Structure 1
Amino acid sequence: MLTFVLRRLVSGVAALFVTSSVTFFLLYFSSSSVARNILGESATSSQVHQKEIELGLDQPLISRYLSWLRGLLHGDLGTSWFTSGSVAGNIASRLSATLSIVAVAVIVTAVVSTLVGVTAAVRRGWTDRVLQVLSIGGAAVPQFLVGIVLVTVFAIRFGLFPATGYVPLAAGVRAWSSTMTLPVVALAIGGIASMSQQVRSAAIAALAKDYVRTLRSRGLSPREVIFRHVLRDAAPAALTVLSLQFIGLLGGVVVIEQIFALPGIGYLALQSATQGDMPMLMGVVVYTVLVVVAVNLLVDLAVAWLNPRVRIS
């Protein structure tokens, strides 16, 4: 198991290095005059040039990259070009909002997808067909459209939930959950639609195996067969899809944070990209990759625990 974990950690570090490096060069090759954006159109050419020197933009690209990489290795992501604030501090203050939404959405996706997928696999017939149609419909509707409909109906029309804003968990569970409900539902619908299909297929395959018939012949109840044995058999495939759903939710949260005016890293990434704030944008990339690597490692460990053959593959 230790060797398995070390291999996953090494691959995670390699993914962080490659992703951040490629992003760095792509951003700087595609960037415009950042100094002009900071100073405004009224700034003179000499002022713009002085600002470029201050930001280090007069240095060769490889020198800027090596300087950024040294800072990363020492845990220093630099300062924002627009606010002069710490990149790490700014991201840390917004990370809780994004991770709260995504984590709750993942939990909701896992629970609902399991119930829907297992129900479709066990009952089959018209129940299976109805659930499949609903799943396909849920996957086809864009997240931003779902978010807009939820805001219009449940926030503006009926006033059941706040339309915008985020309340931290420390301020109270009720206030926190009220601001989380609509964004989580908007994020989770698409994930439930796709993951429930994977759970259904894995459960049908597990139910057709010989050991299930043996367990039933020994008098085990259908509930015990499904929840103690079939779900364990279907779990590795479902967990793999869930990890992919998590990555997709991190990307989709950018749009959801815009719709619900949430102070998360998705909104920060979009704002930084619009302004050309490269240190802040690179910091968001690094934090996002770290979160994805951590989640994938946890999923790999869970799959290896459920299926020991994975550890030696």
Structure 2
Amino acid sequence: MRALRRLVFGLFGLLGLSFLSFVLIYYSQGSVAFANVSQGMSSALRYQIEENLNLHQPMLKQYETWLFNALRGDFAVSLVSGEDVLSIIKERLPNTLILGGVAFGGLVILSLFLGLASLFSPTLDRLMSIVGLGFAALPAFSISLLLILFFSVLWPIFPSSGASGIGVEENIWDRILHLVLPVSALILSHLGIFVQFVRTTLNDSLNQSFIQFGLARGLSFFYIATRWIFKYSLPPMISYFAASFVSFMVGVYVVEGVFSYGGIGSSLINGLIFKDYPLILAILTLSFLAVMIVNFVADCLCEWLNQGRV
């Protein structure tokens, strides 16, 4: 019930997000007119281009037109390229899903493993506190540039841009090599904080009274860990992972831009530069829906796990 209530509120939040985003785009600097003519443009030519694209209309009128079209499933066309916005997203979304899915899955698995290991290894705990949190303090684009410098320039081991090599788009091994650096950048930018949260949550579970109760009954620590500790720890972990999905998604878009990965993040950055609001709003709407779905699934899992929580 709580998950469904949050989903309903999220739909209203989606409407507010789209309006706020449109206002910010409307009042931002730049113009779509500069997308094809970068220099030497007169004010009259710029106004003519914007008028041809109906950008001279009042802000509320433009938003109203976009909103009612979007509710019918029509997200218009890109003001820069003239392509259908949904076609652009459909073409580029698989790359984003592959990059984000692999990175987030690897981040969760590594966080659980290292968090549990650092709980019983003071050396690993200190190492994660220094190295892991050190990387977490850096922006994702800084880590990306460092990885490119070391593993593409100084030691040319991995490719530095693109989702695949030219002419070998179907080569699985080549696509994996192109994934290594962007996935590493995303994992390193979040791993330290995730590991510390997992370690703290597991440590809190170990200090609960039911642990001593189980040991007093003669139960093995393995049984207590698998049946009680993880049941107690999983709901807050799942909630934290889901709550961090927003910042992780932003990191995916930034890393895509640095590595020219060809996902919707690169399209979003280009759209922001030239105020291509149909493309920007479509990507932001899709991103917010993804966040809502992830949090809805996380809430359902937590409610199910809490039913049998010790």
Which residue of structure 2 lines up, in the alignment, with residue 111 of structure 1? 109
Query: Are 1:148 and 2:145 matched, yes or no?
Result: yes
* Distance of aligned partners of 1:44 and 1:151 in 2 relative to their CA distance in 1, 3 Å threshold: closer
Q: Partner of 1:165 in structure 2?
A: 162
Residue in structure 2 matched with residue 6 of structure 1 by the alignment: 4
CA distance in 2 between partners of 1:163 and 1:173 (Å):
17
CA contact (8 A) 2:152 2:160 kept: yes
Determine whether 1:138 maps to 2:153.
Answer: no
CA distance in 2, matches of 1:206, 1:54: 63
Point out where structure 1 has 5 or more consecutive residues left out of the alignment: none
Q: Say if 1:24 and 1:282, in contact at 8 Å, map to a contact too.
A: yes
Q: 1:228 to 1:191 in 2, by over 3 A?
A: farther
CA contact 1:117–1:199 (8 Å) conserved in 2: yes
Post-superposition offset of 1:204: 0.8
User: Separation in 2 of the partners of 1:182 and 1:34?
Assistant: 32
Deviation of 1:239 (Å): 1.5
Deviation digits for residues 119-157 of structure 1 (CA, Å, limit 9, x no counterpart): 222x15444333333332232233223222222322333
Alpha-carbon contact 1:39-1:48 (below 8 Å) kept: no
1:219 Cα deviation (Å)? 4.3
- Residue in 2 that maps onto 1:253: 252
What's the TM-score once normalised by structure 1's chain length?
0.88
* SS of the residue 2:14 aligns to: helix
Query: Counterparts of 1:40 and 1:198 in 2: how far apart (Å)?
Result: 48
Alpha-carbon distance, 1:31 to partner: 4.5
In 2 relative to 1, CA 42–133 (structure 1 residues): closer, same or farther, beyond 3 Å? closer
Cα contact 1:9–1:297 (8 A) shared by 2: yes
CA deviation after TM superposition for structure 1 residue 277, in Å: 1.4
1:225, distance to aligned residue in structure 2 (A): 2.8
Taking a change above 3 Å as real, the CA distance of residues 158 and 297 of structure 1, as seen in their structure-2 partners, is: same
Q: Which amino acid aligns with 1:193?
A: G
Amino acid at match of 1:228: R
Q: Which amino acid aligns with 1:283?
A: A
Tell me how far 1:172 sits from its aligned partner: 4.6
Amino acid at match of 2:160: A
Residues 1-313 of structure 1 mapped to structure 2, 5 A cutoff: 3-35=1-33, 38=36, 41=39, 47-121=45-119, 123=120, 125-167=122-164, 171-308=170-307
- Tell me the secondary structure at the aligned position of residue 307 of structure 1: helix
Q: How many residues align?
A: 307
Q: Which runs of 5+ in 2 are unaligned?
A: none
Distance 1:309 1:220 in 2: 18
Q: Distance between the aligned counterparts of 1:283 and 1:210, measured in 2?
A: 50
Distance between the aligned counterparts of 2:308 and 2:226, measured in 1? Answer: 22
How far the C-alpha of 1:276 sits from its partner, in A, is 2.0
Residue identity opposite 1:273 in structure 2: L
CA contact (8 A) 2:102 2:183 kept: yes
State whether residues 143 and 252 of structure 1, in contact with CA within 8 Å, keep that contact through their aligned partners in structure 2.
yes
Seen in structure 2, the aligned counterparts of structure 1 residues 228 and 184 have a Cα distance that, compared at 3 Å, is farther
Q: Distance in 1 between matches of 2:223 and 2:179?
A: 34
Q: What percentage of aligned pairs have identical amino acids?
A: 28
Relative distance call for 1:258 and 1:40 in structure 2 (3 A) is: closer
CA contact (8 A) 1:155 1:162 kept: yes
TM-score norm. by structure 2 comes to 0.89
Deviation at 1:111, TM superposition (A): 0.9
Shift of 1:224: 3.6
